[in-house]
Amino acid sequence: MVDRQQFLIRARIETHVLQTWIEEEWLIPRREAGGEEFSDADVARAHLIRDLKADIGANDEAVGVILHLIDQLHGLRGALRDVLRQRGAAPPD
């Protein structure tokens, strides 16, 4: 976990950009007594958002849809892994 300042450096974004992404709920930092904390997954997600906007030219609405679909896919993979584990099958890679 990293703090807000470290996150900004690792994600290579400005403070106002991070604030917008948090308001859009594209990133949801953990709230701790010392402030916000971000995971390595948050850093990777920030890189994805930046790439979607800068390299692909996705607008804010498209970024929201793409992130929602990725989150659904991640959730479904976790559910499948749990079902396979309960049945004693090896989870797929």
**Above 90 in pLDDT, residue 33?**
no
Asked whether the whole model's pTM tops 0.75, one would answer yes
> Per-residue pLDDT averaged across 61-77, rounded?
97
Mind listing the pLDDT tens digit for each residue in 3-18? 999 999 999 999 999 9
Q: Return the closest-CA partner of residue 52 out of 68, 36, 38.
A: 68
Helices (H) and strands (E) in the chain, counts: 4, 3
Domains held by the chain: number = 1
What CATH number has the domain bearing residue 11?
A: 1.10.1660.10
Q: Find the domain containing 19 and state its range.
A: 2-86
**Above 90 in pLDDT, residue 47?**
yes
Answer yes or no: is 51 within a domain.
yes
Answer yes or no: is 92 within a domain.
no
Answer yes or no: is 93 within a domain.
no
Answer yes or no: is 91 within a domain.
no
* pLDDT for 38: 97
Helix (H) or strand (E) holding 30: strand 30-32
* pLDDT for 32: 84
Burial of 73 (0-12, 13-18, 19+ CB in 10 A): exposed
